[in-house]
Chains A and B, each alone.
Chain A
Amino acid sequence: MSSEQSLKAFRRDGRIVIVGASLAGLRAAEALRDEGFTGALTLIGDEACEPYDRPPLSKQVLTGWVPADGTALPRRREIGAEWLLGVAASGLDLAGKRVRLADGREIPYDRLLITTGVRARSWPDEAEAALDGVFVVRTRDDSGRLRERLDAGPGRVLVIGAGFAGSEIASVCRERGIPVTVAEVAEAPLVGALGSMIGSIAADLQRAHGVDLRCGVRVTRLEGDGRVRRAHFSDGDAIDAEVVVVALGGVRNTEWLRDSGLAADRWGVACDSGCRAFDINGLVTDDVFVAGDVARCPHPVYEYRFLSLEHWANAVEQAQVAAHNMVSPPTDRWPHLSMPTFWSMQFGVNIKSVGVPVMADEIAVTQGSVEERRFVAAYGYRGRVIAAVSFDNAKWLDHYRQLIETAAPFPPSCPTPDRPADMKPVPADFPDPVVITHGATVLVTGHEPSERRVAFVRPGPLKPQEKRS
């Protein structure tokens, strides 16, 4: 059979299995049907409920505007799939082309899409994490339970970690009139994602809304008697809190792939820009694809660096590229080149970014007023624009996306009508990425080109409050 014929046969009655039934998995399934795939489609998900949308879980669900079970993702079309929900995948047999499930079943596939995403990083001390009143927010059950607790009007909420999720949860608390303390190990909120200039603006924003913001401190201990009562900080201080929200970022769900032979580790599953997974040696596979939060994919605009993006839009766009490539001939493959975008709603401000700020060496305000907390700032890297962030000015970001895509010079020079008082670039000042990605990941064995192979170094357990990427 020619490769053309076999592709045709696969499109007609092949078997595609998607592991991970959330945003990326669902959108990929829909895109596969849009592409004309008529074979068998199986979606495997460890949660028992149908796919739902996560952005509202740290916002509208917690304010009470949207019920937790009112977040089901809208369906763009019928997908005619077999759903295996409430059961996790536990292993992958690449050679035998089978997914192993936690209940012992084995699901054969012709092509596989991995969209297992990320879970919340839990509080490292298990006994403290088990105290009643200690939450993470990743699933809709998490969010629903936290909302009930907020409804009861706790005396104080402690949020550990001032990234986007932690900041949004703190914002909801203030909106609901609940006293809240935010503890962040870095010098300011959002600093890991947006750098120290935006971080200091975010810190002012939090304090202006009555947040008890404590930066540069770790939470050393949670104290309680079955229920959490009190938290101790590294500076010796302590506070009473009835609710503690652990917002320390995510852990990529790759453990089930540990012995699969894929390049899957704590940073995700590495793949090419066409979403084809790499095996442990960095060789591209033909039948295994990756999309969404768990994927780690090189971006040509960013010096072909591998980017792991936990962004809603990235999941949607990457799923579409993966689906296309899964059922198309090699001559018609798409690269996943879309610009990363991200948004957050906190303390009444819409924060949106485009590009990859963390790579920047400089930042300059280009439009609006920092003082009024409505502005756009561009990030520069070696004299070109590589990202931008807006506070209540999101409609301009399309322009900055084009500046990034055309490698426009930084700082952008031409004046706009809404000129800021100070447009001088300042250092972007991100926490040292070495702190984030320290340590070896693999060891190379063998000598001859035919025998050289790679093996993972098993990472040790994460230390409390280790910086997340």
Chain B
Amino acid sequence: MTVAQAPSTLQRILDYSSRADPYPLYAELRGRPVARQEDGGYVVSTYREISTLLHDPHLSSDAHSLEDPGPALAEFGDPPAFIGLDPPRHDRLRRMAMRHFGPPHSPTLIDDMRPDLTAIVTGLIENLAGRDQIDVVDDFAYPFPVTVICHLLGVPREDEPRFHRWVEAIVALLDFDPAKDPQERLREGVQARKDLRHYLAELLRSRRGRPPGDDLLSRLASDEGPDGRMTDEEIVSTANLLLIAGHETTVNLITNGVLTLLRHPEVLERLRREPEMIIRTVEELLRYEPPVHIIPWRAAYSDLTVAGVTIPKGSRITLMLASGNRDPAYFRDPDRFDPDRRDNRHLGFGSGIHLCFGAPLARLETQIALNGLVRHLKNPRLVADPPPYRQSAVLRGPRHLLVRQG
């Protein structure tokens, strides 16, 4: 006689039927902050334990540190971008990329983008005028960050239909879609990564021999900083990472933002009167409905102990960021959306050395996008609540968000 095993809490979270509201399942997970899974992996779901691990130098981001890397090795390509590396290689590549993105070498880059970002948002909003119904995702939250990241990297915007397919397949590598054969998903993902790398390598080649432009690809190709220059392979890996991250996450943050504001009309009204409140509102969004719910794996480089549980070297560790953000042991009244929350140290961008590279840009994009939209939408109503979600439990967000106005 065989007994069908009841699915674990994690499996139920990954199941598509939980996508609209995984939060009760996260609460269930937090009953055991560090839980060993049947496959030998560990799931960590409480704020302090996640935060502790993200600052623990024994936690590795390199798939080679896993006893059984499985498809993880395929996720970040070869050579991996800095997100899939440990110090010192991680530090060197991230530092070299940061030279062209933020302080101390490019302290004003993001802030200087403000007029351009506003212009793009204004343009998209003008297209919405007079329409009874819009799709926040397709009409606004997707095209905006894609346009921005293309411009920043120096990738032609008109190529978007080409690389969008590849990006979807690569992102699917992170995921657990039971409807799809894992081998086939892996094959598609690996092929897509090859195609995207090839595309970016071609772009990079076309930059050579021309005077360096303003875009990141050109700057990386011509950089002569204290760490020397990235190899072409490294530049392609970095561009690959930024292109994917830059357009698969902000779309969720903006869409989750619109959805949350429509569910909290009193906050939306306040935002119309006090646009400066957007800064705190976006921070609270990053806690309440973060764009990245799960860090699918990190590896124990040595044996490590957290919350009294010893995780053996080589184990796979899954960090439930969105669950940590709702941990009542850390956040008071965590299921309340409260932009006035003080000291909001959310895990929306992760923490530690792998803290989201693009965080300052994502913040500014979302602030401008949401403030623009709430000012211009007339009497907006959700057509469906909950809206249909994307497949991914990791990069969680609505696939469409239909809103009626007027």
Contacts and interface: CB of A to CB of B under 8 A. Distances in A.
A418 interface: yes
Interface in A405-431: 414-418
Contacts of B62: 417
Nearest to A414: B302
B52 interface: yes
Interface in A152-201: none
A160 B62 CA distance: 47
Given A396-B57, A417-B301, A418-B57, A367 B87 contact: yes
A6 to B, nearest CB: 29
Nearest to B87: A418
A417 B87 contact: yes
Contacts of B88: 368-369, 372, 374, 418
Nearest to A366: B57
Contact of A414 (B58, B91, B353, B355): B58
Contact of A415 (B55, B302, B352): B302
Contacts, number: 50
B302 A396 contact: no
Contacts of B295: none
B304 A395 contact: no
B65 interface: yes
A65 to B, nearest CB: 10
Given A374-B91, A418-B86, A399 B55 contact: yes
A414 B302 CA distance: 6
B353 A416 contact: no
Interface bracket on A: 10 to 19
A414 B303 contact: yes
A398 interface: yes
Interface string B62-103: 100100000000000000000000111001000000000000
Interface residues of B, number: 20
Nearest to A398: B55
Contact of B57 (A367, A372, A374): A367
Which residue, A367, A393, A396, A414, has most C-beta atoms of chain B within 10 A? A414
Which residue, B87, B91, B302, has most C-beta atoms of chain A within 10 A? B87
Contact of A416 (B91, B301, B303, B352): B301
A417 B60 contact: yes
A402 interface: yes
A399 B353 contact: no
Nearest to A417: B86
Interface string A357-396: 0000000001111001010100000000000000001011
A416 B302 contact: yes
B87 A414 contact: no
A397 to B, nearest CB: 8
A159 to B, nearest CB: 23
A415 B301 contact: yes
A378 B57 CA distance: 13
Interface of B: 51-52, 55-58, 60, 62, 65, 86-88, 91, 301-304, 352-353, 355
Given A396-B55, A396-B57, A416-B301, 17 more contacts: A366-B57, A367-B57, A368-B87, A369-B88, A374-B88, A376-B57, A395-B55, A395-B353, A396-B353, A398-B55, A399-B55, A414-B302, A416-B58, A417-B62, A418-B57, A418-B86, A418-B91
15 contacts: A366-B57, A372-B88, A374-B88, A376-B57, A395-B353, A396-B55, A396-B353, A398-B52, A399-B57, A402-B52, A402-B55, A416-B302, A417-B87, A418-B87, A418-B88
